[in-house]
Amino acid sequence: DVVLTQTPSILSATIGQSVSISCRSSQSLLDSDGNTYLYWFLQRPGQSPQRLIYLVSNLGSGVPNRFSGSGSGTDFTLKISGVEAEDLGVYYCMQATHAPLTFGSGTKLEIK
């Protein structure tokens, strides 16, 4: 199985601060069809996960543009440019290039 290593596991930020989360894959996530099936999700307390980013860098529907995704191959990053209070929760990366689909271990964002 593809292992996705997320760092850090806990992130403490002040309102307005910019932060980044890393997701490193044990294998390249570039598919033979030319797509890289890497996604980012946020699960707020008491809610279902929300898809923030799809295919590495595409912003999900209704997602604020302070969120951005980048990377290629095995190294990916989610950046929040100016954290807001509503951004607290657990962030996950997920890959769907290789079966079985796998998730990272999660990054908990706390607001100072």
C-beta of 3 vs 15, nearer to other proteins: 3
Establish if 60 lies at the interface with other proteins (CB under 8 A): yes
DSSP category for residue 30: B
Q: Which amino acid is at 96?
A: A
Establish if 54 lies at the interface with other proteins (CB under 8 A): yes
Asked if 43 and 89 count as a contact pair (C-beta separation under 8 A), the reply is yes
Give the shortest CB-9-to-other proteins separation in angstroms.
9
Q: Classify residue 77 as exposed, middle or buried by CB count within 10 Å of its CB (0-12, 13-18, 19+).
A: middle
According to CB under 8 A, which one of 13, 37, 59, 68 is a site residue for other proteins? 37
Establish if 27 lies at the interface with other proteins (CB under 8 A): no
Give the shortest CB-108-to-other proteins separation in angstroms.
7
The stretch among 19-27, 55-63, 66-74, 79-87 that binds other proteins (CB under 8 A) is: 55-63
The H-or-E segment that residue 24 falls in is strand 19-25
Establish if 85 lies at the interface with other proteins (CB under 8 A): no
What does the chain come to in residues? 112
